[in-house]
Amino acid sequence: MSFSKSLVVYRKEMMELFRDKRTIFSSILLPIILYPVLFIGLTSLMSRQTKVIEKEGATIAIVDSVQNDVSALILKNLMTINNFQFMPYTPESDKLYEDKDVQGILSITDSLTIDQFAVYKVNLQFDKSSDQGEMLFRKIQNNVDSTRTILQEESLQKVQISPMILKILDIIQFDTSSSQKKMGKMMGSILPYLLVMTLLSGAMAVASDLVAGEKERKTLETLLVCSVHRNEIVIGKYMAIITFALINVFVNLISLYFSISYTFSRSGMELAGISFPINSMLLILAAFVPLAMLVSAILLSLSTFSRNMKEFGSYGGPLMMVSMMLAMVSFLPGVELSNAMALIPVINIALLFKAVMIDEYTITHFLITVGSTLLLSFAAIWASIRIFNSESVLFRGDDESSLKNVKKDKRNLFNPYYGMVYMVLALVALYYLGSAMQTKDLSRGLVNTQLLIILLPVLLVLRIFKLKPKEILRLKAPKPVEMVLIPFIAIPAAMIVSSLAGLINQIYPFPPGYLEKMSSLFTMSDNTWIVLLIVAVLPGICEEILFRGFLMRFFEQYGTKLSVVIVAMLFAAFHLDPFRFIPVLLLGLLLGYLTVRSGSIINSMLSHTINNGFAVVVSTYGTSMWIKPLLMDSETIKPLVLIPAAAIFAVALYMFHKVTTPKET
């Protein structure tokens, strides 16, 4: 691949983008206009509107049930509120209040305490949902507070007690935070959300045009027949999307800087020493580069997969929604950047933004955030290259994913689109129905989840489309030697995966109660055989039928290796447990290999059952003499045991590879 040719494609795309007035407006001109309107225009409008509401005032009907010197003082002070009109309460006042001609009804009452001391209450009826109602309550509350202070001082003076006794205890603030930190706290919540959204919107506007747009204009074929390799085309277009995405972020930051600076100067905040943290913003801009790379690669993949710009919009909408929800973590109080959070895309950048703005970030968190996002971006651009080099994906027919096409040929059911739709529906059913069933009765809920949510829908789909279960699910008997080798593969693999989970717990500690919740799975019944049936046998059969048997068929057009990886990732995500994602992913890769290598799902069923059964045995009999020598504590495998376990695993896997063939059925 020649990078110079990629630069030629890059220059070509940039020239075309700069000729497009719509792109220039949405990516460059709109942010320059938007932020001054938001910060300067809305601030001025809000200030002006507040004055308008206060100038309008309010009309209040008064009921004085006490009619003594104290109530007279209360009323006298209330009359001093500017733009407020007071009228005696009449039977018609309630009707006037309903018609909004009267904004409040105020009554003064009194009562006696146990020691016969008179206390007074000001009861206010108003509409808190309206701006005028909030203003009314605020002004009356401040006025009544002032009257209360006067009454308290007069009462104390009558018994010859100094009014200073009311201030016998006070709290004085000594704020050690800098002006820069105050500014960072103000900006650290809303700005990450705004910048992530502008990054996405700018990149989407460009990505939709670079491939999906060229498909519509019928110009992509011309580009493909030139002397530039497809990989070079992808890299050139990828760099163009990144460039415009970063231009969008940079323009937004500059516009934001001048808008906020102007707003602060108008409000006099510069006199308090508050300034815009330029150094922090430069660091944030550097952290946004990997995120721009990741977003650009994902959008380029979507644009390549889409038949036209309209279809790209249907994919981009959900991506925008998911990113918006992830970016909103910056609004949540108490959520801080940690080693675990630094691995989650978008969330890590949003939390890093908050931490940098208040100068409470660590270089470790910064490097993990940038490094993890870079790794994901490299994986995403690799996927983009694979998609762009696939003729069947790049030039998909109009009805490829339609139900009509499935009716014509049942084999068309198995495409990635329907695979992802099925996965999403299964996840939704697991999250809502499965959780509800397991909350009522854990053991029965787990059984129903495996049979009704995981297994039954697969069998129904096969029945409805009249597909052959033995052929689709790879339900063929494996060779005896394969089944003999499976325990020597599964048990060492379970030890290694368990130790990996323990290592993850050391680096990213599990939350309190997590381990107790996991242990409850193995103690739901006193009968170990019942626990093995529910936790090991049923998942080993049902989950393997769903993932290695059914879902893997949807992704086979990407090749055997990639389909194994995709299904392993879906398998890990299906467990809805971020702390076990990597161990379950590795287990899924092993199970996928065992299935496709032997052509039989029975091998992965047996391995899955042994893996889960091993966890049950260790949890139940961890203190027994026959298993205790293998463990450091009740559940942790000794490191020295892992060495022979890894050796046995490697030898058994090699032998399995030798006795099997990659023949698919």
Give the count of alpha carbons within 13 A of 414, CB side only.
Answer: 19
pLDDT in tens, 505-541: 777 677 666 666 676 676 666 688 898 999 999 999 9
pLDDT(172) > 80? yes
Beta bridge partner(s), residue 84: 58
Long-range contacts from 364-370, C-beta under 8 angstroms, 24+ separation: 364/339, 365/337, 365/338, 365/339, 366/283, 366/287, 368/339, 368/342, 368/343, 369/287, 369/337, 369/342, 370/287, 370/290
The CATH number of 53-167 is 3.40.1710
Query: What pLDDT, on a 0 to 100 scale, did the predictor assign at position 428?
Result: 92
Query: What pLDDT, on a 0 to 100 scale, did the predictor assign at position 398?
Result: 55
Query: What pLDDT, on a 0 to 100 scale, did the predictor assign at position 665?
Result: 45
233: which residues sit within 8 A by CB, 6+ positions away? 6, 9, 223, 224, 388
pLDDT(560) > 50? yes
Work out the mean pLDDT of the chain and round it to a whole number.
Answer: 84
Task: List helix spans (H) across 208-229.
Answer: 213-217, 220-224
* Site of tokens 């323009």: 251
Query: What pLDDT, on a 0 to 100 scale, did the predictor assign at position 523?
Result: 66
- Domain spans of the chain? 3-41+182-330, 53-167, 466-659
Alpha-carbon span 59 to 88, nearest angstrom = 11
Q: Which region among 167-181, 287-301, 304-318, 380-394 has the lowest average model confidence (pLDDT)?
A: 167-181
Query: What pLDDT, on a 0 to 100 scale, did the predictor assign at position 333?
Result: 76
This model's pTM is above 0.75: no
pLDDT(583) > 70? yes
Query: What pLDDT, on a 0 to 100 scale, did the predictor assign at position 294?
Result: 92
Query: What pLDDT, on a 0 to 100 scale, did the predictor assign at position 501?
Result: 82
DSSP string, 397-419: -TTTTSHHHHHH-GGGG-SHHHH
Query: What pLDDT, on a 0 to 100 scale, did the predictor assign at position 396?
Result: 66
Would you place residue 662 in the very low, low, confident or very high pLDDT band (cuts 50, 70, 90)? low
Alpha-carbon span 190 to 108, nearest angstrom = 43
Query: What pLDDT, on a 0 to 100 scale, did the predictor assign at position 455?
Result: 95
pLDDT in tens, 21-54: 777 777 777 777 777 777 777 777 777 777 888 8
Query: What pLDDT, on a 0 to 100 scale, did the predictor assign at position 357?
Result: 79
Nearest to 196 by CA among 279, 355, 14, 319: 319
Alpha-carbon span 598 to 601, nearest angstrom = 8
Look up residue 460 and give its two tokens.
């129904």
Q: Which region among 136-145, 357-366, 457-466 has the lowest average model confidence (pLDDT)?
A: 357-366
205 close to 298: Cβ distance less than 8 angstroms? no
Would you put residue 450 in left (φ > 0), alpha (ψ -120 to 50) or beta? Answer: alpha
Q: For 612-638, what is the mean pLDDT?
A: 75
Query: What pLDDT, on a 0 to 100 scale, did the predictor assign at position 78?
Result: 92
Query: What pLDDT, on a 0 to 100 scale, did the predictor assign at position 130?
Result: 87
Query: What pLDDT, on a 0 to 100 scale, did the predictor assign at position 271?
Result: 42
